[in-house]
Amino acid sequence: MKDREQISEQVRKRYALASEGLDERGRRQLVAAEALALGWGGVQLVSKATGVARGTITLGLKELRGQVAPPPVGKSRRPGGGRKAIVAKDPEVLVALERLVEPSTRGDPESPLRWTCKSVRKLAAELCARGHQVSQEWVRRTLQALRYRLHANRKTREGGDHPDRDAQFAHINATASAFLAAGDPVISVDAKKKELVGAFKIPGREWTPVGQPEEVRVYDFPIKGLGRVTPYGVYDLAANAGWVSVGVDHDTAAFAVATSEHWWIQTGRGRYPAARRLLITADGGGSNGSRTKLWKRELQRLADATGLVISVCHFPPGTSKWNKIEHRLFAFISQNWRARPLVSDAVVLSLIAATTTSTGLTVESYLDTASYPTGIEVTDVELATLRIQRETFHGEWNYTILPQAAEEAGALQE
């Protein structure tokens, strides 16, 4: 008995040392050679010492004795060897898996996973409940083989396409090109999203010493005395320059037009001293929306105050991302203040004004502390007094506002 224990221990040690560098076929023939050398009872002893199944050792003996054809070169098993694939034993499992992954399109709208997270664990559990014996790992590998991947949401849908969407884009481009060719200013305007002022988390990452990330508040609630700010921007296409008014009150049409007025007084008229007209491209909604009456009334006020003939072209519904200001100004402001908490109005202004690009973008910032109350109504009677000339092509999107002073001057000359 003692001799068999010693032999078993020696076999175990030899197998542990030699098997690490061998493939399945090599390990099978190694234990078979040990059993063959021991003679009668060798299979049982080697199996107990190494943990290799007796059937595997027996197959190795047959290979050594030439009783079975060896596996092809480079293979550990003969064709057809090993456990049968799950799909071979259960052909319906693939169909069942795809129905769970896409229940609304694969004819299974009542799937219990219709409104839950489709993790591999839940998918495997549901398949098992339906009689398909699979593991989480099998589900993961199979989904990859079926060309499924983990994806985040992608913003691509712009809402219902207007039939004249492309035609309006062409109209905006043609109008802007004509203004620029004549040396007249073309500005793109819009409001950036509201930002909380204080030590709040800002998306993005910034280089800091290891283990010393910027510490910010856990909860995003406005701080009394700081509140929120609304950056409203003007992007000058010809100059590749931006102007941003940081408002501390409501984002209204009055605030939007006031920003354009500040830009013109502080920068625009000095940059375009001979200009008598201005083109504004704006989104179709929001404070500068095509249906906003206050927006038009305030533009009339601006035209009267400056003497400018103001033309406006709105982008079709659901296409705001094509507005130049989005990807030529706001995108770079967001990059510049990534991971930088906006702890004060001064910090907001500084980060906006410090925004530059390799193509020469410059930005000016201004803190607008004026009050812009909401709920101001403009009646149809008041709207009718405005000097609005609507174009024949979508006059609700494309129109020009003339200064009232010019009309009065013409009446006096008559």
How confident is the model over 307-324, as a mean pLDDT? 90
- Which residue type sits at 219? Y
Spacing of C-alpha 409 from chain mean position: 54
Q: Report the alpha-carbon distance of residue 314 to residue 164 in Å, rounded.
A: 13
- Cβ atoms 275, 308 nearer than 8 A: yes
Q: What is the pLDDT of residues 398-411, one digit of tens each?
A: 999 999 975 544 44
Q: Which residue has the higher pLDDT, 405 or 285?
A: 285
pLDDT at 265: 96
Kindly indicate the confidence band of residue 274, based on its pLDDT and cuts at 50, 70 and 90: very high
**What pLDDT score was predicted for residue 146?**
81
Label the pairing between strands 186-191 and 388-390.
unpaired
Which residue from 398, 169, 404 is spatially nearest to 280, judged by alpha carbons? 398
Say what the pLDDT of residue 87 is.
79
The 10s digit of each residue's pLDDT in 112-158 is 555 556 788 888 888 899 889 899 888 888 888 887 777 666 666 65
Q: What is the pLDDT of residue 73?
A: 61
At residue 379 the predicted structure's pLDDT band, cuts being 50, 70 and 90, is very high
pLDDT reported for residue 413? 35
- Whole-number mean pLDDT of the chain? 85
Per-residue pLDDT, 106:
45
Query: How far is the C-alpha of 259 from the C-alpha of 311, rounded, in Å?
Result: 16
> For 57-112, how does the pLDDT look when each residue is reduced to its tens digit (9 = 90+)?
888 888 888 887 766 665 555 555 555 678 778 888 888 888 887 754 444 555 55
C-alpha span between 385 and 308 (Å, rounded): 18
Global pTM reads 0.65
